[in-house]
Amino acid sequence: MNIREVIEGLREVADRLPDGMDSQVRIHVCHGHDSGTLIKSIQVDSMAEQNRETFEIIDAYAIVQGHPHLDDRPGGSTLRPVTMDIEKVVQRWADEGPGDAPKEPDPSNLPSIDYTEDPETGVRYILLRSQGVMYVKMELDANGKIRYLPGSPDAVAAGCTCDPERNNHGAGMADLGEGGGVQFVYRNSCPLHQHVRWPN
């Protein structure tokens, strides 16, 4: 990945965040299927590799350094794979109720979860609040469970483009800090996890 790709990726993410380009940045160090580390203290720098004999520069690149020892919580915040059943989490969100959406919705009054159905195919979808008036639309199976969890093997095989590692291969991640909560990382262009505007 080059600097241009990093900048483009950050701009894409900034468009989804309330504070846009003023949003804070974190580094997430993935440890595969085990717990990962979320780091707040970040430094951007450059580095060059030289030939020991000729001192010729072999390679030069930008580096993003994470300093967990400087964070408010030394060592960084720990993220772990979700151990609870995803359907239980969804049901907890559903208990908040869908509410009524005004013609010009106020994001602060919108539900965190809702459902919709394709009138032609009869396929039901769950809508999970993303940012502002945007929701992530995910297909449900005949039992009312999410058919394709982001980054899961089944989802990837069906065309999901969400990052498998960042989503713990469909298990998601949970913050061990105060509040907790399940976290998934969606890609805007993913055909299985479309971003739709409220009301859809």
3-state secondary structure the chain: CCHHHHHHHHHHHHCCCCCHHHCCCCEEECCCCCCEEEECCEEEEEEEEECCCCCCEEEEEEEEEECHHHCCCCCCEEEEECCCCHHHHHHHHHCCCCCCCCCCCCHHHCCCEEEEECCCCCCEEEEEECCCCEEEEEEECCCCCECCCCCCHHHHHCCCCCCCCCCHHHCCEEECCCCCCEECCCCCCCCCCEEEECCC
Instruction: Quote the pTM value.
Output: 0.46
Q: Which range among 4-8, 33-37, 117-121 shows the weakest confidence by mean pLDDT?
A: 33-37
Give the model's confidence band at 192: pLDDT under 50 very low, under 70 low, under 90 confident, else very high: very high
Average pLDDT of the chain is: 77
